[in-house]
Amino acid sequence: MPFPRHVESVSGTYWAAHPFRAGRSCKAFARKRYIKGSFMKYEVERALAIETVSKASHLCEAIRKELVSEETLLKKDKSPVTVADFAVQALVSLDLHRAFPADPLVAEEDTLDFDTEGGARLRDRVLHFVRAADPGVPEAQALSAIARGRHADRTARRYWVLDPIDGTKGFLRGEQYAIALALIVEGEVVLGVLGGPNFPHSDGSKGCLFAAVAGQGAAMRALNSPREERISVSQIADPTQAVFCESVESAHSAHDEAARIAAVLGVAAPPLRMDSQCKYAAVARGDASIYLRLPTRADYEEKVWDHAAGWRLLKEAGGEVSDIYGRPLDFSLGPTLSANTGVVATNGHLHAQVLAAIRQVLSPPH
């Protein structure tokens, strides 16, 4: 998918030719190519993140349709999602490196998997799909793009964080999964883009893309449309009217404890269960008002790439996010949220009440 000549943005309308494929720097793009509209902070990064996550979303659906079958589901074969993970990481890494060659990328996958038994076949399948989205890319360049995600300088002032496929089982089932990309500058998540290929848009179409920049609000567009609309959290302040959002898999969050918390709050509606950071999008758009990710074991540390993009989206939509003790999420400590325990995300109006209910349910008896 080429970079659109006409890019709609919540901050203005811009006309641009594609600068990245020609190897021009984004600084030159900002200086020479934006000839209409006011320039906003991180606007170039935002445009590129939207482009590459959109391409990755289409690539994921192509991989899923070609590789996922009833047989793979019956056998619980995760190889299609493995191919998608690698292909998306390569695609996004290539785009970012062309535009911002000095920016490290922190991501999950590593080409060491290609050295295992069956690794050559995996590599060939990944390259096939990468080249479908980015024709002509050399093998060495594609493999290097994947590897740079696992060998990044996490002490850098500025770096990108990617979860290429967030929601493995949602991907395989054809349900909710996300491509999550965020930019961290001096320990703060300043930009987040989420692609939800199966997330329903308000116009009835399938597939949504969400974008947010610090201080600039949150926006949504249909996956195949450049038109954006602002989104914001629900205004519900009575927990009995709230909808909970939680993971499908009980291994990811303690469902029994969440049910007890919901009972304390008087929540009557059944939980909205879905995989991936699409839960952040659901709260940001007002489909739900509470998202809990309660720790299932004491030593578990949440991964930065599992929350960064969704965190920024929800904050910009007017919501609140903390850990179960009310502490802000700290993205400055490396690949994990090591200073935090669990995640509590709400529309903001309910946050204090939810934290109080968590304390009541999770506090040890005296």
Question: What ranges do the domains of the chain cover?
Answer: 6-230, 239-362
pLDDT at 35: 35
Per the annotation, the verdict on 124 as an active-site residue is no
CATH number of 6-230: 3.30.540.10
215: left (phi over 0), alpha (psi -120 to 50) or beta: left
Q: What is the pLDDT of residue 137?
A: 95
- Single-letter amino acid code for the residue at 100: F
Residues 347, 334: Cα–Cα separation, whole Å: 27
Which strands form 320-322's sheet, in the order they lie side by side? 272-273, 244-246, 290-293, 343-346, 320-322
- Return the CATH architecture of domain 239-362: 3-Layer(aba) Sandwich (3.40)
Count the neighbouring beta carbons within 10 Å of the beta carbon of residue 78. 14
* Catalytic residue (choose from 82, 85, 134, 163): 85
**Does residue 168 have an active-site annotation?**
yes
Position 95 scores a pLDDT of 97
Pseudo-torsion of CA 312, 252, 288, 350, nearest 10°? -80
Determine how many CB atoms are found less than 10 A away from the CB of residue 94.
22
Task: Tell me which residues of the chain have a pLDDT lower than 70.
Answer: 1-39, 151-154, 249-254, 364-366
d(CA 355, CA 366) in angstroms, rounded, equals 19
Catalytic residue among 52, 82, 111, 168: 168
pLDDT of residue 202: 87
Measure the CA–CA gap between 266 and 177, rounded to whole angstroms.
Answer: 29
Bridge partners of 183, per DSSP, are 160, 191
Query: From CA 234, how far away is CA 242, in angstroms rounded?
Result: 9
Cβ atoms 307, 337 nearer than 8 A: yes
Q: What is the pLDDT of residue 321?
A: 98
- Cα separation, 161 vs 107, whole angstroms: 6
Are 166 and 306 within 8 A, CB to CB? yes
Cα distances (angstroms) measured from residue 203 to each of 222, 245, 324, 354: 8, 22, 35, 32
